Amino acid sequence: MSLTAPASAPRAAVCVIANEVLTGKTLDTNSHFIAKLMFRRGVDLKRVVVIPDEEDAIIETVKELSAFVGPTGYVFTTGGIGPTHDDITYESIAKAFEVGVVLHEPTMAAMTKSLAEKFPTFKMNDEVKRMAILPEGCKILHDMLTCNEEHFVGVPIHRVIVNTLEYEGTLAGSLKAVQKQHPSVIIGSYVNLTEEKTGTRDTSFNTRLTVEGRDVKEVKNVGDKLIELFKGKIADPGTVV
């Protein structure tokens, strides 16, 4: 069941560019971080794509995702911006939008200063310099996600979390009926995995239910209905689902 969102709620997509993620050498945590942040900002994250460090794949995917989110949306890329041969994100994005690449002097100066402080004997080389060669006309947002509230603003999403001792299999039918009655919210159901995650089982619940939507009254009403149906209790909003 899809969340019914106002037209003003922007979409977002994440493109993870990393051979090491595709081969299992590295666990992607960037998209998880962005997903949580977009939820808090009220932006609808609709897609997460993992692709290799290949120019054609980057160009094709970035163009596709840009068209998908539209002019009010956001496409986040992660990976491929280091000094090695397979770090080709900047050049590929520039080609996707048919612009050139130029040395960004403020970035170069900041990078030189930082490296000199950390590694006093380091001498700048062309490989490291590549990290300051950016798509022409781009705007630099330092601490992009966490410090630029005005750039990533959506429509607030509200969430209620309900814990119940009922088992997921026994409440599935009733949950389906409630979801059908309230199509403007998303109802989620998650089994208790606290023992697998922490080594100790939280015995206060067997199933955790979530209700998410943009109408705060509707979210609360559905949450109250789930509490009544399944003898549940409201969980702390900060609870990890």
Query: 145-152, long-range: CB within 8 Å, 24+ apart, which pairs?
Result: 145/33, 145/34, 145/37, 146/37, 149/41, 152/37, 152/38, 152/41, 152/43, 152/74
212 or 153, higher pLDDT: 212
> What is the overall mean pLDDT for the chain?
92
pLDDT 10s digits, 76-127: 999 999 999 999 999 999 999 999 999 999 999 999 999 999 999 999 999 9
Same-domain check for residues 125 and 37: yes
Same-domain check for residues 73 and 138: yes
Total structural domains within the chain: 2
Assess if residue 70 is contained within a domain. Answer: yes
Same-domain check for residues 21 and 136: yes
- Confidence (pLDDT) at 121: 93
* Range of lowest pLDDT (5-9, 32-36, 134-138, 145-149): 5-9
pLDDT at 241 over 70: no
Same-domain check for residues 168 and 118: no
Q: For residues 233-241, give the mean pLDDT.
A: 77
Q: State which residues form the domain around 34.
A: 11-151
pLDDT 10s digits, 124-177: 999 999 999 999 999 888 777 666 667 788 999 999 999 999 999 999 999 999
Assess if residue 1 is contained within a domain. Answer: no
Same-domain check for residues 163 and 192: yes
pLDDT at 4 over 70: no
Same-domain check for residues 40 and 126: yes
Domain at 47, CATH number: 3.40.980.10
Same-domain check for residues 174 and 99: no
pLDDT at 8 over 80: no
Same-domain check for residues 86 and 19: yes
- pLDDT band at residue 238, thresholds of 50, 70 and 90? low
Same-domain check for residues 78 and 180: no
- Confidence (pLDDT) at 1: 32
Domain at 177, CATH number: 3.30.70.2860
